[in-house]
Amino acid sequence: MQDSFVLSSFESRTSQPYNVLGMAVYLKVAGADTAGQLSVFEAEYQKHEGPPLHAHQVDETFFITSGEFLFQTGDKRCIVKAGDTLFIPRNMPHAFLTISERGAMLFMVNPTDKVEILFERLSAYPTPPSVDEVVALHEELGLKILGGPLSAAQ
């Protein structure tokens, strides 16, 4: 049986946070902790930061701990703020943009699938990967980049 554990805010199960396209992402609960059933991450973003429009074969749940974010899920857009929870079912295209000066969230994927591998591989680049490298890595892992990041002007 595995032991329980406690991590402080912005503390990671890995020695360093993942560097996901220039954004620090902290692994809170690893797939190895849950027999592949769940991964939990924590991240803080600066204004106008967020991932490109993408989709994957796992459900994802976001719990906003501070700030405000504009989310696109499928064809819908919504603003989520501290205290809000957003669920995105598997295969639904989604992206978000930080609209406050800073914002933080916990996000969970279940089952863990390839998300931890993606974050590990993105972190291994010595310099920021090109768009083509990011797209190729997503495709290799069965994930999809469907467009660019959201912008404040949209």
Q: What does the pLDDT profile of the chain (154 residues) look like in tens digits? A: 689 999 999 999 999 999 999 999 999 999 999 999 999 999 999 999 999 999 999 999 999 999 999 999 999 999 999 999 999 999 999 999 999 999 999 999 998 879 999 999 999 999 999 999 999 999 999 899 999 999 876 6
Q: Residues with Cβ < 8 Å from 71, sequence gap 6 or more?
A: 62, 77, 78, 79, 80, 86, 94, 95, 96
Is the residue at 154 inside a domain?
Answer: no
Query: How far from each other are the two terminal CA atoms of the chain, in whole angstroms?
Result: 49
Is the residue at 128 inside a domain?
Answer: yes
Q: How many domains does the chain have?
A: 1
Is the residue at 9 inside a domain?
Answer: no
Is the residue at 74 inside a domain?
Answer: yes
Which residues constitute the domain of residue 37? Answer: 18-147
pTM for the whole thing? 0.92
**CATH at 46:** 2.60.120.10
Check residue 47 and give its pLDDT.
97
Is the residue at 140 inside a domain?
Answer: yes
Is the residue at 1 inside a domain?
Answer: no
Is the residue at 49 inside a domain?
Answer: yes
Is the residue at 116 inside a domain?
Answer: yes
